[in-house]
Amino acid sequence: GNTAVMIGCHSLTPTAAPSSRRDNSNGGIAIVGDPLEQAVLRTSGYRLVGSNLVAPMDDEDGGSGGPAMTILHRFAFSSKLKRMTVLATEQGGKGEMLALTKGAPETLKTKLTKESTPPNYDEIAFHHMSHGRRVLAMAVR
């Protein structure tokens, strides 16, 4: 569910970098991209293995023990759509494709079913936005 969105729906890219810029928590690979996305990936216990593969960190590094995920296609964040979507599969799973989306709460709400939308969705989003926090909604299909 939400963990899949947090580890798979990002625009992070591995890059060649001087050894002083490499991230040891990511197996020594330097990562370019949004610092928030980098922090979310690391906090979730995952690391970027290649441009299209995320895998659990080793146990001693705080690994999640969850499945690796292969990113098949990225639909980059669009300011017009106020969201980004990634198509991915979990390794070792049933092979089903997942559509992972994150974006502005008001935008994603229009894509959710009534049954999947918490009754206090707007209230919670507004509460956090009114405190100056960056708020992103997540969805999986």
Q: How far apart are CA 109 and CA 112, in angstroms?
A: 5
- 81 — phi, psi (to 5°)? -85, -20
Q: CB neighbours (10 Å) of residue 50? A: 12
Q: Which pLDDT value is given to residue 112? A: 94
Q: Which pLDDT value is given to residue 62? A: 60
What does the pLDDT look like over 47-98, one tens digit per residue? 999 899 999 988 766 666 789 999 999 999 999 999 999 999 998 878 899 9
Domain boundaries in the chain? 2-103
What does the pLDDT look like over 6-30, one tens digit per residue? 999 999 998 876 554 555 566 667 8
User: What does the DSSP 8-state code read for residue 117?
Assistant: S
Q: Which pLDDT value is given to residue 95? A: 80
pTM of the prediction?
Answer: 0.84
Q: Which pLDDT value is given to residue 94? A: 81
